[in-house]
Amino acid sequence: MKTNDLIIQTTTKVVFYIIFLFSIHIFFAGHYTPGGGFVGGLLMSSAIVLLLLAFDLKTVQAMLPVNYTVVTAIGLLIALATASGSIFFNVPFFTHAFDYYNLPLLGKTSIHTAMFFDTGVYLVVVGVTMTIIQMIGGDE
Amino acid sequence: MSLVFAIFTPVIAALLIPLLYKRVSAIHTGWFVLLIPVALVSLYATYIPPIIDGTTYKDELPWIPSLGLSFISYLDGLSLLFSLLITGIGALVVLYSIFYLDKKKEKLGNFYVYLLLFMSAMLGVVQSDHLISLYFFWELTSISSFLLIGYWYTKDRSRFGALKSMMITVFGGLMMLGGFVILGILGDTYSIRELIAQAPDLVDHKFFVWALVLVLLGAFTKSAQFPFYIWLPDAMEAPTPVSAYLHSATMVKAGLYLVARFTPIFALSEVWVWLVTGIGILTLLWGSFFAVKQTDLKAILAFSTVSQLGLIMSLLGIGSIAYHVTGDLVTTFTFATFAAIFHLMNHATFKGSLFMIAGIVDHETGTRDIRKLGGLMSLMPISFTIALIGSLSMAGVPPFNGFLSKEMFLDAVLNLKNFDLHALDSWWILFPIIAWIASVFTFVYSLYFVFHTFRGKHKPEQLPKAAHEAPVGMLLSPGILASLVVIIFFVPNFFGNTFIKPAVAAIQPLAYQVPADVGFTIKAWHGFDSLAMYMTLGVFLVGYLLFKTIPKWSPIYKTFPTKLSLNGMYDGLMRLGDSGANRFSSIYMTGSIRSYFVYMFTAIIVLLGGTMWIKDAFVISYENLAPIRFFEILISIILIVGTITILVTKSRLTAIIALGAVGYTVALFYILFKAPDLALTQLVIETVSVALFLGAFYHLPQMNKHEKGKEDRGFRLGNFLIALGVGVMVTLIAISSHSQKLIPSISEYYKETVYSEAGGGNIVNVILVDYRGFDTLFEISVLTIASLGIIGMITLRLAKKKGDRKVENK
């Protein structure tokens, strides 16, 4: 018998974006307040997990046509590239740089290479968590 | 030609042998090989005149200069004598083997490569002046001898004999290496000649005796002394040329060489004198006694070799007494060394020829069993003549060289009465008595060997082949050796002056500067006042009587139980080592992870606890402790309750949920201790892992399917104690390390620089991505590997599932 998941599906449609935004927020806020790539990534994947709970595996795959192994690889690459970028400026591996810029729309913003590294962490965490959950969930 | 190069000539030539063996199959490979020992023996012969004058030669080839390691070839009287023996008898053996080994049936390439390797190794042993290169060559002789004994590797007995000789000689070799290293450390040099110069300073060092005993172990195992002789009879499975070469003339004499070479160093210690003399004379008696028991021609010769080596060994021991006496007595005891070297040379000649004759008999009749042989005298007259010469020389009968050295041996043993140390004035008489008894048995087995083979009734029906005389080529080598046996008897002093005196001068460098100083002459006739002569006559008389009555008294050999024999002990020891090691590892290698955890945790308790106990490291200090707040107590109680629930619960679900509770409590602690990042991460991770646990739980079979009604997890006192111990240990260490903070934390630096240097406000995150981003990089790599691992585990299932249906996932 097919169960009726209307309430949870409707709620999920709303809550997903809230968690997603919270995850983005906590990622960007990480450098100054609690948060960062790791927690942000975990929150992002929990948002996707919520989707998985409300819908089934195939639907979610259709909604977000993402290969999470590739996400992991891209994250790792970004992290490594950020760390190795410093070599081109003749400074030791993993030296970060930051400065303040006046960006349109955002105003005075600090741009820090550590953020790119954190992006890598974020993607890896999302990729890994989702790979594990999909793998175990999809296995029968 | 450089002397070092000469050492390596055979092994370099050995590289060409397989090529010649494969390409030039028309000619027996041995003919090419023969060139090498012949060339070498002529090379070494050119050194004889200068060595007689007291010159020595030294040639050095650096090997590892930074460690002071080099191949030093040092040629003096002793090494020249051995080099001549090795190359001379080597040439004869190669000549003999050309006729002995069949060109078509045997793998000649292997044989000659091993033989040449052995020849190089032996030359290296006797010429090396550096202890480590001496050891190098020493082990090379063990290895090449192993290969040669196991030449017919399809035979079980060959493999057994090869393995046994390898085990025993390598055991001794390693002991010897230990002795060498001690010597090298004591004297701060590995050069034997420099050590000789230092010997008086070294002798009182407490490790000197250890070096002595260890080096002697090496010499005794190689020279088949009691109780290590047991490998030699089993090594008789080798082809006869090998037995003749290795196990009579050369390798077994490496130990004698070692003893002779180290006499100037070790003889200063009395332990040396007693060990060498005592073990030597015991081996002499033991070997000669058991030789009569043997029924295999080569086994008789093997035991006789053991016994003769014991004789030489004891003579070397008596000779080293010369270092403990003064005045005329020095000459008296040096005479024993002279006799030792003389007998060593004689033994090489007659034993080599006897082995070759044994090989001929085997080759021409198909058996070596003395019970089947007999009456070959008229069929094989030349072999008989050679065997008779060799045997009578071995028995000590004139006019053969064995008589001379046996006389000198008895003289030397009788001389012991002049050495009045440690009540030897009354005990010394034991030595001549043992020597005399051993000589009687030597006489018996010598006659037994030759007459039971060649005299008596011919039994053609028991022989695999029809017996006939061997070809001339095969008789050539034993013939040459046998004629040497006679020649040495008639002109002993020529050989004495040429070979023996330089060697004695090398062994006794303190007493003699140049070989010409050694003032001994060999006399065949002692006159009627010599006790040794009467002893010899007694040997002939009693020996002849015993030989005639062998069947009457030989049953006494049956009273020796096999299990208590040394071979039985060796076999038992090997079995014990094998099964004992097996049993031992099956005791602790249970295959159960539980027991390995027990070992590991016990080790943690014992090592950490022991260290704390020994170092008195437990410290408890009440400073630097924060006040305890109400919430902390509350959360701790929840934590403890959760933990205990995990331990005592009977259902898995409860355990998982309790574990989740513990995890969330820890997150609460993080909040309480102001670690928001940790708290966030802990909360999410805990949720994920509890979900995974539940997923795993869902698929698990029921816990108590098979043992209903029983406790789900049995209580084990041992596990409880170990767990308690580990917990207590970790707590104690935590308290102690908290109580003694020796250096201030570096976190002040982070606090000061987090904004100015790193442009951030969240110290935790800045440390993770900036200060110590390296760790994070590898942690995300760990995560990646974990996820790939899970993909691999789930998708790649090669094992078959139930119903024999291969399941392949997408």
DSSP string, A85-110: HGGGGTS-TT---EEEEEETTTEEEE
Percent pLDDT > 90 in chain B is: 30
All residues of chain B having their beta carbon less than 8 Å from the beta carbon of residue A39 are: 677, 680-681, 684
Contact A31 B761 (CB under 8 A): yes
CATH of the domain at B638: 1.20.120
Fill in the DSSP letter of residue B698. H
Number of A/B CB contacts below 8 angstroms equals 119
Between CA B44 and CA B51, with CA B50 as vertex, the angle to 5 degrees is 70
Q: Which residues pair with B253 in a beta bridge?
A: none
Provide the Cα torsion B782, B788, B793, B798; round to 10°: -130
**Residue B501 belongs to a domain:** yes
**Residue B36 belongs to a domain:** yes
Which residues, numbered 665 to 684 in chain B, qualify as contacts with chain A under a Cβ-Cβ cut-off of 8 Å? 676-677, 680-681, 684
- Show the DSSP H helices in B560-651 as ranges: 566-588, 593-615, 630-648
Average confidence (pLDDT) over B600-611:
92
* pLDDT for res B399: 82
Query: What's the rounded Cα separation, in Å, for the pair B123 and B5?
Result: 11
Average pLDDT along chain B: 86
Three-state SS letters, B446-506: HHHHHHHHHCCCCCHHHCCCCCCCCCHHHHHHHHHHHHHHHHHHHCHHHHHHHHHHHHHHH
Query: What angle, rounded to 10 degrees, do the helices at B108-127 and B77-100 form?
Result: 170
Model confidence at B710, pLDDT cuts 50, 70, 90, reads: very low
* pLDDT for res B525: 65
**Residue A1 belongs to a domain:** no
* pLDDT for res B707: 46
Is B159 in contact with B187 (CB distance < 8 Å)?
A: no
Model confidence at B810, pLDDT cuts 50, 70, 90, reads: very low
Is B765 in contact with B773 (CB distance < 8 Å)?
A: no
> Does the pLDDT of residue B170 top 90, yes or no?
yes
**Residue B214 belongs to a domain:** no
Indicate if B3 and B35 belong to the same structural domain.
Answer: yes
How does pLDDT run across B279-323, given as a tens digit for each residue? 999 999 989 888 888 888 888 899 999 999 999 999 999 888 888
All residues of chain A having their beta carbon less than 8 Å from the beta carbon of residue B692 are: 132, 136
Nearest chain B Cα to A133, which residue? B692
Residue B404: which of B335, B478, B357, B314 has the closest Cα?
Answer: B335
* pLDDT for res B42: 92
Distances (CA, A) of B517 to B55, B318, B345, B521: 14, 20, 21, 12
CB proximity B637 to A under 8 Å: no
The burial of B604, by beta-carbon neighbours within 10 Å (0-12 exposed, 13-18 middle, 19 or more buried), is given as middle
**Residue labelled with tokens 């004695």:** B504
All residues of chain A having their beta carbon less than 8 Å from the beta carbon of residue B807 are: none
Higher pLDDT, B65 or B533: B65
Nearest to A32 among B762, B773, B777 (CB): B762
* pLDDT for res A123: 94
Higher pLDDT, B656 or B559: B656
Amino acid at B578: D
Residue B323: which of B312, B309, B337 has the closest Cα?
Answer: B337
CB proximity B689 to A under 8 Å: no
**Residue labelled with tokens 């100083």:** B517
**Residue A33 belongs to a domain:** yes
Query: What's the rounded Cα separation, in Å, for the pair B152 and B150?
Result: 5
Contact B677 A34 (CB under 8 A): yes
How does pLDDT run across B577-599, given as a tens digit for each residue? 899 999 999 988 888 888 899 99
Query: What's the rounded Cα separation, in Å, for the pair B364 and B358?
Result: 10
> Does the pLDDT of residue B601 top 90, yes or no?
yes
All residues of chain A having their beta carbon less than 8 Å from the beta carbon of residue B777 are: 79-80, 83, 94, 117
Nearest chain B Cα to A71, which residue? B784
Average confidence (pLDDT) over B28-42:
90
Indicate if B750 and B775 belong to the same structural domain.
Answer: no
Contact A131 B791 (CB under 8 A): yes
> Does the pLDDT of residue B332 top 90, yes or no?
no
* pLDDT for res B712: 52
Indicate if B407 and B395 belong to the same structural domain.
Answer: yes
* pLDDT for res B703: 53
Count of structural domains, chain A: 1
**Residue B587 belongs to a domain:** no
* pLDDT for res B711: 46
How does pLDDT run across B564-573, given as a tens digit for each residue? 678 888 888 8
**Residue B571 belongs to a domain:** no
Percent pLDDT > 70 in chain B is: 94
> Which backbone phi and psi does B190 adopt, to 5 degrees?
-105, 5
Residue B239: which of B368, B151, B163 has the closest Cα?
Answer: B151
Query: What's the rounded Cα separation, in Å, for the pair B492 and B244?
Result: 24
* pLDDT for res B549: 84
Q: How many CB atoms lie within 10 A of CB B760?
A: 24
> Does the pLDDT of residue B201 top 90, yes or no?
no
All residues of chain B having their beta carbon less than 8 Å from the beta carbon of residue A35 are: 677, 680, 762, 765
Indicate if B377 and B294 belong to the same structural domain.
Answer: yes
CB proximity B790 to A under 8 Å: yes
Query: What's the rounded Cα separation, in Å, for the pair B253 and B345?
Result: 10
Count of structural domains, chain B: 4
- Lowest mean per-residue pLDDT among A40-54, B606-620, B791-805: B791-805
The burial of A5, by beta-carbon neighbours within 10 Å (0-12 exposed, 13-18 middle, 19 or more buried), is given as middle
Q: How many CB atoms lie within 10 A of CB A88?
A: 7
Contact B677 A79 (CB under 8 A): no
Query: What's the rounded Cα separation, in Å, for the pair B94 and B13?
Result: 14
How does pLDDT run across B205-242, given as a tens digit for each residue? 888 899 999 999 999 999 989 888 889 888 888 888 99
* pLDDT for res B727: 93
Residue B325: which of B288, B254, B273 has the closest Cα?
Answer: B273
**Residue B181 belongs to a domain:** yes
Provide the Cα torsion B785, B787, B790, B796; round to 10°: -80
**Residue B358, SS3?**
helix
Residue span of the structural domain in which A111 resides:
6-138
| Distance in angstroms between the alpha carbons of the first and the last residue of chain B | 75
How does pLDDT run across B753-799, given as a tens digit for each residue? 888 887 788 888 888 888 888 899 999 999 999 999 988 888 887 66
> Does the pLDDT of residue B804 top 60, yes or no?
no
**Residue B64, SS3?**
strand
**Residue A111, SS3?**
strand
How does pLDDT run across B693-702, given as a tens digit for each residue? 887 777 776 6
Indicate if B293 and B432 belong to the same structural domain.
Answer: yes
CB proximity B554 to A under 8 Å: no
How does pLDDT run across B416-462, given as a tens digit for each residue? 877 766 655 677 788 888 889 999 999 999 988 888 888 878 777 77
How does pLDDT run across B378-389, given as a tens digit for each residue? 888 888 899 999
> Does the pLDDT of residue B803 top 90, yes or no?
no
Model confidence at B259, pLDDT cuts 50, 70, 90, reads: very high
- Lowest mean per-residue pLDDT among B22-26, B329-333, B465-469, B755-759: B465-469
Distances (CA, A) of B385 to B377, B397, B450, B483, B734: 9, 15, 10, 11, 90
Model confidence at A74, pLDDT cuts 50, 70, 90, reads: very high
> Which backbone phi and psi does B688 adopt, to 5 degrees?
-65, -45
Indicate if B532 and B652 belong to the same structural domain.
Answer: no
CA B94, B100, B104, B107 dihedral sign is: negative
* pLDDT for res B807: 47
- Lowest mean per-residue pLDDT among B511-525, B650-664, B719-733: B511-525
Contact B677 A76 (CB under 8 A): no
Distances (CA, A) of B192 to B50, B139, B302, B378: 22, 18, 32, 53
Residue span of the structural domain in which B159 resides:
1-190+235-249
Contacts of B30 (CB under 8 A, 6+ apart): B94, B95, B97, B98, B101, B108, B112
So what's the ipTM on this one? 0.92
Three-state SS letters, B786-802: HHHHHHHHHHCCCCCCH
* pLDDT for res B83: 92
Query: What's the rounded Cα separation, in Å, for the pair B181 and B210?
Result: 11
**Residue labelled with tokens 């080994």:** B101
Indicate if B36 and B133 belong to the same structural domain.
Answer: yes
CB proximity B518 to A under 8 Å: no
Burial B702-732 (b: 16+ CB within 10 A, else e): eeeeeeeeeeeeeeeeeeeebeebbeebeeb
Distances (CA, A) of B810 to A134, B21, B798: 13, 60, 13
Q: Which residues pair with B73 in a beta bridge?
A: B59, B128
**Domain edge (last residue) among B762, B783, B801:** B762
Nearest chain A Cα to B779, which residue? A121
Is B339 in contact with B392 (CB distance < 8 Å)?
A: no
CB proximity B753 to A under 8 Å: no
* pLDDT for res B528: 66
